[in-house]
Structure formats: C-alpha cells, structure tokens
Structure 1
Amino acid sequence: MEGALVSVAAGALKPVLEKLATLLGDEYKRLRRVHEGIEFLTQELSFMEAFFVKMSTEEDPDVQVKLWMTEVRELSYDIEDSLDDFIEHAHDKSSKPGFMKKIKNLLDRTKATHKIAKAIEELKKQITEASERHKRYAIGDSISKVNNVTIDRRALAIFEDVSNLVGIDGPKNELLQLFNQEIRCESRHQQPKMISIVGFGGLGKTTLARQVYEELKEHFDCHAFVSVSQHPILKEVLGTIFTELCKSRSKRRKNKGQSLPLSSIEDVPQLISRILDFLADTRYFIVVDDIWNEEIWDVVKLAFPRNGYDCRIITTTRVINVAQSCRSSFNGHIYNMDPLSMVHSRQLFHKRLFNSEECPTHLEEVSSQILKKCAGLPLAVIAISGLLSNKEKTKDQWCQVESSIGRGLERNPTIEAMLKIISISYFDLPPHLKTCLLYLSIFPEDSFIEKKMLIRRWIAEGFIQKKHGYTHYEAGEMCFNELVNRSLIQPRLEKDKWDEVIVCRVHDTILEFIVFKSIEENFVTIIGVPGVNSDQHKKVRRLSVQNSGEIPVGLNLSAARSLSIFGNDVKVPSLLEFKHLRVLGFEYCKQVQDHHLAGIGNLHHLKYLRLNLVQITKVPEEIGKLQYLETLAINCFSQKALVPSTISQHGRLVHFIAYGCIMPDEIGGTEALEVFETSLDRHQSTVFFGRGLGDLTNLRKLRLAVSSYKAQRELACSLRKLVKANLRFLAISLSGKLNNLVEELNLPAECSLQELWLWGHSISKVPIWIGSLVNLQKLSLRLSSPCQEDLEILGGIPDLRYIFVRNEHCPSAEQLKAAMKVLMEAHPNHPTLVWQQEWRSMA
C-alpha cells in the first residue's frame, strides 16, 4: 500500500480505500451488499479526496464544510482501525485445531465481517448526506509532487547569513562596548556584568547572544549557553548549565575536570549549591536564553555568584518585565533588539532567492513591498523567501503572495503578525508536506530533532509515499529537504563530517503555529505544556506527553496511533490502554523500567519503537509478536539490556539500533534489515553472532562499536560477505587494540562500499587493501603516526572525494602541505582533507 498516505486533510481515507479493495475484493464476493458499498465508496471518495486537497489550501473554509471534513476524517480513522482489527483476527494463526475452536473462529469471523459491512454502510450514509449538501465538488489544480529534492545550499546559506552576516555586526559591537571589553580585570570589588536582550519573537535575539558568546567565551575559565523556553523544568535547566560549565573547563584545561552525576541530583537547591561551589573562584560567561517569566529567573540567578572576577551574563527575553528583573539583579543593562534595516532585509532576501544582492528589474517593486510588510523581522524574511523560492520568478506570482500578506506587519509587528506570514507558507505546502510539518508539533520546544529519527517516524505514521527508484527513507529525506528549502525547519549549522544536515529544530514562533493547527485538526494531542489545551472529548490520534505531564483520567486512548513520552518526570501510562499504536517513543525516560513495557506484544500494528535512555534490564520476548515492526532503537541508560532471540522473527525490521544491549546469537533471521548499529564486547564474542551477521545481505549501513571481540576472523568474513552484497556504509569504532581486525578485513576491491569509518583506537598504518576499493568515496580513520606510505595508499583510492583523518600527534604545517600535495596529485576531483585535532579543512 505504498500510495495509501495518511494526511492532515483527509485522515485515513486513502488507506481505507486500498484496504477495502484488497481485503474484500476477492475473498468476500458473496457479500453483495458490501461490494456495492465498496464500488460506491471508491467513486465518491476519489472526488472527496480531491475536494479535501483543495480545501486544505484554504485558510478559512466555510464552517459547515469544515465540520463535515472533520466528521469524515475522524470516521476514516475509525474505519481503518476496524479493518485492521478484522485483518488481525482473520489471519490469526495462533488458534489450535478442533471442531469447537473452528466453530468459534467462524462465528467470530462472521461477526467481524458484519461489523465491517455495518461500518461501510455508515460511511456510505455520511457521504450521501455530504453529497446532498454539496452537489458538485470543485476540484482545484493538482499540486505538483516533489521529485528527488535535495537541500538547496542557498537555504542553508540564509541561516548562516543570519548567524554571521546580515545586520549582526552593529548590535554585536554595541553589546561588546556595553561590556567594556575589560575581560582581563580581576578586581574583587566587581560583580558580574549583565546585559538583557529584549524584543519580540523572530527578531534574532538568540542569534545575537550566540555571536557575542562565541566571540568572548574563550577569554573565560568556563562558559555555558542554555535555553530556558516557555515551559522549563528548573532541574534540567540548572543541570544543563552545570554540565556545560564542566565541559568547557575540562576542554580548556585538557583534563577530565569535574563531572556531573545527574542521577544523584534530586533537587534544585542541590544543583544551585553545586554551581555556586564550581564558580566560586572562577571567571565565567553564561548566556541564559529565552526566559519567559520573572519567577524562573529569580531561581536561576541564585546559581551565579558575585565573586569579583569580572564575569559576564547575558539573558534574552520577549518580556520587558523579565529584562528589568535581570538588569536589577546585577545592576546591568537592557538592550532593545531592533528590526533589520531595509538594506539588511534586502540583503537577506536576495541572498536566498537570487544568490546575490541584485534583484531582477521586473521584481524590484514587488520585492520592496514584500520586505516592507516583513517589517525587519528576520524570521519573516526567511519564511517568505522560502515560500517564493518554490514559485516562478514572475511579477504576477509574487504580487499574489504580496497581496495575501495583508497590512498587519506594517501596523503591528508582533507575534500575531508573524503567524500570518507563517500561515501563508503553510497553506502553500502540498498536502504531504503539511502533514510532515504538523507532526513536528509532538516535540518539546527548543528540541534538537534527529533527521533520521524524524523520517523513520514519518514512514511509520504513513506520511511518506515510496517513489520508484528510491528507498522509503530516501523519499522521506526529500520531504525533509523540502521543508528546509522552504525555511520552515532550521538545520542545525553544526553538520557532520561530510557537511550534511543531521539535526534540525523548529523556531518557537513556527512551533506555536503548528501546535495550534495540530490541535485544531485533532492531529496531535499535547499533555504537559501549560497553555496548550486539547479537547478531551475527542478521540486521541497522536499523543505527546511532555515535562511533568500526566494523562487525564477518561481520555480516550484506544484509537491513538502514536505515543511519545519526553523527559524523566512524565508519568508513564500502561500500554494496555492502547490498541492501535503505530509509533511508540520514550525519549530521555530514565523512569521507564521493565514493567512499563508489559503488554507490548499486544500492539500488533506497531511499526516504530524507540527506547532512548531507559533503565530496562531486558527487552520483552513478546516483541517477537510485532510482525509489522520496521524500526527498533534501544539505548539503555545505566545497564545492559538483554535482547531476546525472538528478534530474529522480524521479517520486516529495516532499521535496528541497539546500544547498551546484549544481542542474541540468532541475528541472521532479520534478513530485511537495511540499517544495523550495535556495540560488540565480551557478551557478543561468539562465533555464531559473527557468522549470523553475514546473513544480513540486505544491509546498506552497518555501524559497530567494538571493545572486545574474540571471533575476529568470523566477523571479518561476514563483513566481506556484506560488502559484496549491498553494504554501502561501514563504521567500526575500535575501543581496544584491534589492529588485527582491520588487517583481517581485507575487503575486496570490487565491492559496494562507498563510505568507510575506522574510528576509536588509532591504527598503526593504513591497510594496503584500502587503496584498492574502487567505489569508496568517503573515508574516515585514526592513525597513530601517518607516514609517506600511508599517504600513497590513500592517494591510490580511485573514486575518493572526502578524507577525514585524526592522528595522535598534531601534524606540522610541512606534513599538511606534503599530504595535500600527494592527495591532490592523485585525485583531480580535489578531495577534502581534514585533520581532526586541528579541525583544518583544506579544499
């Protein structure tokens, strides 16, 4: 059912159609009434789907139409749940033979069949009534599909411009002057110098604070940058401050420094005491970003001592009263954030759309009108440029966008006006991208969201349509890239070694909008966020529980398709309350223990399961019953969890991550696996595991953290088998002296491998076999002391594009120059060479 997408607009209408056609088309021909109903539904629902798509582009549809769409959408979810229950029951293989058992199964099957027939009649009735109200469906123009979308580098450049270039130098210099730049003064009569940056959302307060922080932090003994957000948990905020301070001091002194045993921290006073002790005789620089109320600041400020060592504190806020409170705490300054000038707005706008500061003559006038309405809000400029980048560069197209903005921003440049611009960008999206964007509302404010995890969730929810010639994940990656290109999600500018986006975040103003839309459409129910109230009388479709949230008694959870728990203070509900989950995620949930997973085997429709930083001792054996499971990610907090042998029963498992786990020997049964990540130690030292690994011939990506492994020969043999099949990416992190494993690999020249990571413990020399890998494009390794022979081997790799090298001793300028000369002469495509210890990129 690759084309049966679930969407915000139409709910589960498409999956319902395909499941009805598949299930009842052949097996139940005797049920004439059902077949007539299916034929009617097929015709009507095709028109309804087009009508839903058209109406999804309307900001304010007719109230009657909106109510009708909601009714049909909710009904579609219920019908699909009934179909899924029937399919599960009809294909139940657990029943034992016997006359009475067969009679019971027949009766149950008959009841289920009539239940479906009744449900079809109910849906037919609803559609008939709708047809009488709407005699004719007006079908709008079809919305183009996104094909093979990659991230537009200009979309990334616009965020870099905001961070580093556009209009930031002036405000940054003003803040530096306020600090007087007396960073070497050690008068014991001084208290910390404080600046509170204030301004409404979308102005770039965080960006400005970050720029000053990066400019000055190295002048201090320790430093920290922490985001508070609208609904913070004080213990986590203070814990983050302490952790960042410890890390910065450790890095500066090149030792382990003081660590923070978070599990032992039980209350806020204890954390404040630890921070005060840590900073007592220290010059520190701390940024506390996005403070929403004075009460939070009144607690956080207690952790900052007046130690007389000329320290610095910056806060950012939208609320003038909070800024005044921050200033009075340390006799500091308030800096009012101004909008961008027209010159800087135009620079930011043109950089994204035209890759220069020049605008085509025929668009100059309308561009000026658009920028005038953006009123100097960087986020507004970014959102509108993302919208226009997907439209033809014609005056008529741009004038339509300009007229749709209205005059709100010119009169009232506030959050409400900002939401207007975001709504225009949202309603311009095709239906599948609307759905993918609104799904981001499940994540807490200020979350850094892993791209891979997000795409896996989209797939499990049924939002991604598989495209010919691409994997399901690659199709999801196109959707992710399109949202980046439209500037609706922000890539985290710290990319991976290959300069690829791996993490994103949602600006808090955009998050405010998509949370509102998600609740309005009953797409997501959010618990634990003050001020966000969902209708408790509606059935929950997707549930996100955050902060210290507790699910209200009486909330209907039986129809929930996904459950996402975020944080250590959330009360975990019983899985027995859920019947139709497709997605289950526990994020940073140390409170989750073995008993919380009771009943997981009854979640027959589960496709995605993530247990991140939990404290379980074993994965339930009944996980083997989850025949639709496609993604399983486990990361245990404090002890290793035993993964049962029933994991080998998963014929559909595609993505499997298991860290802090003890894997069974029987791993070869999961033959559909495409991505596998795990750690190997003395618990996984058996010959059987190494051999079974070689049976996973569908693997595209394999990541192994090896600390101890006796059966190295069998492991190397399996790896050679995998690269001869489909393996494109291989990463081996060596925690011990395992040079023999690297030598034993001896991968064949004619293999599928495109990326190779040899990480962790350094190897003494580059193996000769690496130089013959004909398809290798990216290589990352750690050498104890690279020599000329190593460089010559690297220079012999025919298709190499990127090299990432780390060595124990910092290379001299002469070594870098010699290495670059060898590689450049060997590769006309000019690979990128990076020596990690110096972080020097040479192109």
Structure 2
Amino acid sequence: MEAAMIPLIKKLGGLLADEYNLEKRVRKRVESLITELEMMHAVLRKISAKPAELFDEEDAVDAFIVRVEDVGHNRGSNNMKNRVKKFLKRATKLFTKGKALHQFSNDIEEAQRLSKELGELRQKYMSDADTKGNADAIDPRLKAVYKDVTELVGIDHRSKDQLRTMSIVGFGGLGKTTLAKAVYDKIKVQFDNVAFVSVSRNPDMAKILKKVLYELDKSKYATINEAARDNEQLIDELRMFLQDKRYLIVIDDIWDEKAWELIKCAFTDNCLGSRVMTTTRIAGISNVCCSSSDDIVYQMKPLPDDDSRKLFYKRIFPQGIKCPDELEEVSRKILKKYGEVPLAIITIASILASDGPDKQIKPKYHWDNILGSIGRGLEEGDSAKDMQRILSYSYYDLPSHLKACLLYLSIFSEDFELRRDRLIWMWIAEGFVQGGKKETGLFELGESYFNELANRNLIQPIDVDATADSALPVGIGKLTSLEELKGLLVDVKELGKLVELRVLYLYWNGSDESMYNSLVVSLGKLRKMQSLTIFDVGDARSDVSWDGWMPTPQLRYLWFKRCTTTLPRWVNSLSFPLLSSMHVSVDIVRPEVDIQILGKLPALHFFWLWVNKSQHTRAETFAIGPNAFPCLREYQFYGFIMGPSIFPRGAMPRLEVLVFSAQASDIVGGDLDVGMEHLPSL
C-alpha cells in the first residue's frame, strides 16, 4: 500500500496545475487529500522501519492492515482494506481516462472519508508500536562502561593468549550454524567453560545473557531464568564468572549490531586464550565482531558443483546405487536451481529419498513435479517448510524500501545480467529511492541500497573481465545441454553445437572476417537464445553489418557493443516481438528511418543508443513518431545534435528515465525545447 501511494500523490499533485481548471471546491479537497496521503505515507514508512515481533510476520505494515481490516466488522467487500485497495486502484486509473476532471469530486470525497478513518487508527497503532519498540532498548552507555582497558590506553600489542573472535558470514542455508557447531564440539574439551547460544532476529537481551550463564554452568545457574535482573547486572555476573576461566562461547545468528555490542560487554579478556565465535548473514556485523587485526572473518562459499552433486545423490540413493540415466537431466536442473545451498540440497533430497523397506527409487514424474515446484514453493513435509522459513528470514529482516528493491529484481528473467547503475536508475524511476539527505543525491542513496543488499548477501555483484583466462575451452561443443556461456571467442564452429543455449555473452575480434562468417553461421543454429551480448575487443573498429544473420524471435535482451557500423536490417517489430532491453553502439544512424523502426518494437522497455560519429545534420530529421515506443520506460541516447520537438505528443507514454547529450550552445541560448512536456510519465 505504501508503494501505491507514491504515484497517486504525484498524480493528484498534477491535478492542481492551472491547465486543468478545477472547480474551487474540488481543488480544496484535492489539496486536503494530498496532505493526508503524504502523512499516511510517512507513517507507513515509519511503521515499516520497526522490527516485527514474530518471525512469521512479514512486516509491521501487515499488522497495520489487519487492524484496518478489523474496522470493517465483517462487512464483506465493504471492509476498510478492500475499500482502500479499490480506491487506490480506481483513483490511479482516473488519470488515464478521458472524463472531465470535475467529475472526480465523488472520488475525492470517498478518499477523504477513508483517510479520516485511517487517521484515527494511525494514532492508536503508532502508540502501540512505539511502546513495543522501546520494550528492550539497549543502554548505549554500557559499551563505554565495559570498554577494555587496552583500548582506552592505546595498547596495540596482543599476545596469543588474548581473547580472539572468529565470525562466520554467508547467506541463509549455507551451513554457518552447522560449521560453528562442528568446530565447537571438536575443540570444547580444551576450555574450562563453554556455551552455544542463538540470538535470532528480535532478541530479548536479558534472556540471551541468562542463557549464556546457564550454558556456562548449568548447576550454578539452574534458576537464573527466574531471577529479576537487568542487562547491566547480568553482564556484571558474566564478567565475574569468566574472569579466571578459559572459555569458548558461540553466539549464533546475530542480526543486529547493537545486540552484539551489548553481548560483547560480557566477554572479559583475562589472557587465558579464550575464544568467541559468531555467525551472521550480514557482512557488516561480521566486521564489527572482528574489530581486531587478530580476529578472523570467514566468508562461507557456496557449495561447489561436484560437492553439491555428491551430497544430493548420497541423501537420495542407497549406498552403492548410482543415479539412473533417466534422472540425470532432471537432477542436473534441480541442482542448477539450488545446488550451491546445502540446506536446500538436503531438504529436496529428503523429499526425493528412496523410502520403504525395498528402498525403491521414486519415479521420474515425481522428480519433475519437485523441479516444477521449486519456483513457487515446495509443499511436501516439515523439512521444506523449515527451509522456506530459514531462507525467508533474510527477506523479512529488510526495511520496506529494500524489500521493494529486492522484489523488483523478479521482473528480470533468470540469468539476466544488469549493470548496477542502470538498476539503480530503475529503482529511482519506480519511486523506491526517496527521502535522502539534502546533500545526498537520489543515485547515491540508491547506491547505498544496492550496497546494503550486497552486504546482507541477498545479491551477488559480479565483474566481467575480458581476459585470456575467459577463453572458451577446447571441445566446448560437447556440452550440448549448456544453457549459459560467457567467454572470449576461440572456436566459433563449436559454438553452433550448443543448441540449448539461452544466454550468450561473447568477446571477439571483429577485424577477423573469417571468424565473423563462422560466427554468423553458428548463431543461426541457436534458436533458443534469449539473451545475447557481443563485445568487440579488437583494436580496429568492426565494419560488418550482421545482415547475414537472422536472430531468434525469442530474444529478450540484445547488446551490440562496438561490433557494427549501422543498425542491422533485421531489427524490426516482426523479428523482435519479445525484445525488452536493447543496447546498441553504431557509427551511423538514419534518423528518419532507423528511429521509426525502433519505435515500433512492441515490448521494448529499456533502450540505449550510442552514435560514435557525430551527426552533422540537425536533429529536425531525428523525429520520433507520435505513437512510438509504447512500452519504453528508460531511454538513453548519445551522439545526436539536439533539436526542437523531438518528442511529439503521444510518444513514449510510459517513459520514466530519459538520458541524452546536448550541445552547450543550445542550453545557454535557451533553445533546448525538445518537447519533454509531452512525456506524461517522466
């Protein structure tokens, strides 16, 4: 609901423009509604920043919706939640219809009634939320009270017997807790007292500290849970108990830096060789845990393919039985989905495991059903539910703005590659990036969102480097089931044998004409291609037209960088009915022809066009048709000389991001009127 308010507020603001000539009564109601919606939006953002009380709560906004729903008192379709949703949906559509604006008065009145009821609930809910949010506040002074004396006086020397910390970090399901427990069980005999305690997402710090005491000495602290002690008293008790003991303590599943700072206060460094181990999904927390140069951060890596396969088969087939040939393909596809995550492998394997007294292997159709269920959620057994719950914790711990950014990635197909800066601009266009400090731009704020998702191990940034190390191996054509390939082009003829290929990212030397001819023949055999990127790394500019190749109509992503001088003739709406993203770098563009052809691509959402040689004719010839680019949301073009009225009324109705180059003389002279007022979504 929070996200739905953003475009609605903007469009309501547009109603106040003089050109709409609203009645005075309606204008006042619109102004009042905008103010109320802005307040509601701010409250929803504040609510979403508060932690959920239970693991199975999606977020605090859901709790707010439940309260709204209760007001309906079982009125069916008339309850508050449905009314709000229906209004938001109807109000958003009003601005695209051709009806007179003075007819919207009834809708405005309905919105005001809803906002009044929501306002009454808001005060009640925020009061409850504030009370609950402060229930277990951590005193920031504790960190200073228990600060180690060596830190206070600046002593850098550390002996091997001083307290050291190791933090294990990685995304959910990698086996951080399993690894920590294995190490703990192996070395605990070397210590006087040991404890293994899980913190989880919303910890009661007093209970955590009591649990540490109980684990350290179960007989002495058998009744500690009944004691009424605050955090400071419990920390004092822990420090006194540990002062003359060599201890090993594992703090598992830390989600909050403040929680660690409080727990850390209890660990006294008595130079007896004590050790502390932590696990977390958040890289920033692991760095805080290991603040000393002698501490160790261990980054968990995804399970290699061979180990994934061994673990999968070992859990499914009885000892001595190999995977049947008919199950090889479906098992490979299952491992491709979840093969790097041990928890997922074990969970799926437990569903497929041979059962019954005769240990009979489950039929292939059962494996196919499991493969088909992976994308929409497994439903078999408690182990699958446990896996989903564990893996979902990382999502539920996100603030609302990061949830929206993460969910936005679902619009891209599997294995789709996207540059970071373009993704950030898309987030900005969707309204996910808002409310930064005055000195911080929207892009910098969006960049911090990206870094935070990477810090939480929810996305994995990659770097593509065209070096000799990425050359295609000899015999690549034998991998006939390969679906994704990236590398430096070597054996072009072998490429045509990969008929299952869906994603291809190639570097090549365009000055080699014989290689070009062979590449065109090979590409013509790849009829399942959905994403194609070709980057010319040669010293000389490529002078090929690519007209000898006809791409597959399934293509959704196309990037030609430095590998053609003109737009290929096969670029048209008939050849590309599904193309949604296109990046082209050329030397020559026929503005009156090429732009018109590109404008008819029916599914194009993102379009980047670079013209490497300057166009000496003015941009009056660069005309976009009135109905061109019907689905385009982002348009970047460089190398054109700007002229007036490039964007006529009716063109690019959904455009949200526009980037272009312009001559300084046009800007200084005030002549840069390109018709951007005709772009309604910009």
TM more than 0.5: no
User: Which TM-score bucket, shorter chain as reference?
Assistant: 0.3 to 0.5
Larger Rg: 2
TM-score by length of 2: 0.37
TM-score by length of 1: 0.31
